[in-house]
Structure 1
Amino acid sequence: MSENLQQARMASVTELAQELIRRPSRGGIDDYGPVLGVLEDWLTDHAVPHRRLCDDAGELVGLLVEIPGGRPGQWWALDACVDTAPYGDETAWSFPPDSGEVRQGWLLGRGAADSKLAAAMFCHIAADLLPRAADLHGGLAVLLDVDEHTSGFGGARAYLADEAAARPAGVMIGYPGLDEVVVGGRGLWRAAVAVHAPSGHSGSSRTVVGAISRAAHFVRLLDAADLPGVDDGSGFPLPPKLSVTSFHGGQGFSVTPDLCELNVDIRTTPTFDAHDAETLIRKAVAELDAELPAPKPTEITPVASWPPFRLREDEQPAAALLTAAAEAGLVVRAKTAGPSNIGNLLAGEGIPATAGFGLAYEGLHGIDERAHLAELPQVYAAYQRAVLDLLRAG
Structure 2
Amino acid sequence: MGENLQAAAAERCASVIGLAQELIRLPSRGGIDGYGPVLGVLEGWLAGRALPHRRLYDDTGALVGLLVEIAGGKPGPWWALDACMDTAPFGDESAWSFPPTAGDVVDGWLRGRGAADSKLAASVFCHIAADLHSHAAGLPGGLAVLLDVDEHTGGFGGARAYLNDPTAPRPAGVMIGYPGLEDLVVGGRGLWRAAIAVHAPSGHSGSSRTVVGAISRAAHLVRLLDAADLPGVDGASGFPLPPKLSVTAFHSGQGFSVTPDLCELNVDIRTTPAFDAHDAETLVRKAVAELDAELPAPRPTGITPVASWPPFRLATDEQPAAALLNAAATEGLVVRPKTAGPSNIGNLLAGEGIPATAGFGPVYEGLHGIDERVRLAELPQVYAVYHRAVLDLLHAG
Give the equivalent residue in structure 2 for 1:193.
196
**2-structure distance, mates of 1:77, 1:5:** 22
The residue aligned with 1:146 is 149
Aligned to 1:92: 95
Q: Deviations over 1:276-323 (max 9, x none)?
A: 000000000000000111111100000000000000000000000000
| 1:82 and 2:74 aligned | no
Structure 1 position 75, deviation (Å)? 0.4
CA distance in 2, matches of 1:244, 1:92: 29
Code of the residue aligned with 2:326 in structure 1: it is T
TM-superposed deviation, 1:135: 1.4
In structure 2, relative to structure 1, the CA distance for the partners of 1:106 and 1:222 (3 Å cut) is same
Q: Name the structure 1 match of 2:162.
A: 159
- How do residues 164-175 of structure 1 correspond to structure 2 at under 5 angstroms? 164-175=167-178
* Most deviating of 115-124 and 127-136: 127-136
* Correspondence for 1:19: 22
Question: Residue in 1 aligned with 2:301?
Answer: 298
Task: Identify which of 112, 118, 121 aligns with 2:121.
Answer: 118
Matched with 2:180 is 177
Selected match of 1:281 from 271, 284, 294:
284
Question: Which digits, 9 at most, give the CA deviation of each residue in 1:126-165, with x for residues without a partner?
Answer: 0001122111110000001111011100000000000000
- In 1, distance between residues paired with 2:11 and 2:354? 35
Q: Is the CA contact (8 Å cut-off) linking 2:9 and 2:384 kept in structure 1?
A: no
Instruction: Tell me whether 263-272 or 53-62 shows the greater mean CA deviation.
Output: 53-62
Partner residue in 2 for 1:327: 330
> Is the 2:7–2:380 Cα contact (8 Å) retained in structure 1?
no
Identity, % of aligned positions: 82
Alignment of 1:342-381 (within 5 A): 342-381=345-384
Q: Is the 8 A contact 2:9 2:383 kept in 1?
A: no
Check conservation: 2:9, 2:381, Cα contact below 8 A.
Answer: no
Cα distance between partner residues in 1 of 2:372 and 2:167: 37
Once the two structures are TM-superposed, the CA of residue 97 in structure 1 deviates from its matched residue by: 0.8
Q: How does 1:164-313 map to 2 (within 5 A)?
A: 164-313=167-316
Tell me: CA distance 1:14–1:68, structure 2 relative to 1, closer, same or farther (3 Å). same
Instruction: Show structure 1 runs of 5+ residues with no match.
Output: none
Aligned residue for 1:95, secondary structure, equals coil
Following the alignment from structure 1 to structure 2, what is the Cα–Cα distance between the partners of residues 320 and 87? 35
The aligned counterpart of 1:71 is 74
* Deviation digits for residues 266-285 of structure 1 (CA, Å, limit 9, x no counterpart): 00000000000000000000
Tell me the CA shift for residue 8 of structure 1.
Answer: 3.8
SS class of match (1:87): coil
Q: Structure 1 residue 4: deviation in Å? A: 8.1
CA distance in 1, matches of 2:305, 2:269: 11
Q: Give me the whole-angstrom Cα distance separating, in 2, the residues matched to 1:351 and 1:4.
A: 32
* Aligned-partner Cα distance in 1 for 2:394–2:282: 44
* Separation in 2, partners of 1:342, 1:193: 25
1:305-359 deviation digits (Å, cap 9, x = unpaired): 0000000000000000000011111110100000000000000000000022001
Deviation larger for 315-324 or 93-102 = 93-102
Displacement of 1:5 in angstroms is: 5.5
Q: Which amino acid aligns with 1:157?
A: R
Counterpart-to-counterpart distance in 1, 2:362 and 2:52: 27
Distance (Å, rounded) in 2 between the aligned partners of 1:367 and 1:245: 23
> Structure 1 residue 6: deviation in Å?
4.2
| Aligned CA-pair RMSD | 1.1
Report the secondary structure of 1:194's partner residue: strand
Question: 1:121 aligns to what SS in structure 2?
Answer: helix
Which residue pairs with 1:106 in the alignment? Answer: 109
| Cα offsets for 1:87-140 (capped at 9, x unmatched) | 111111111111111111111111111111100000000000112211111000
- Mapped partners of 2:358, 2:187: distance in 1: 7
Supply the distance in 1 between the matched residues of 2:9 and 2:317 (Cα, whole angstroms): 30
* Partners of 2:31 and 2:134 in 1: CA distance: 38
Unmatched runs of 5 consecutive residues or more in structure 2 = none
Mapped partners of 1:205, 1:7: distance in 2: 78
The size of the alignment, in residue pairs, is 394
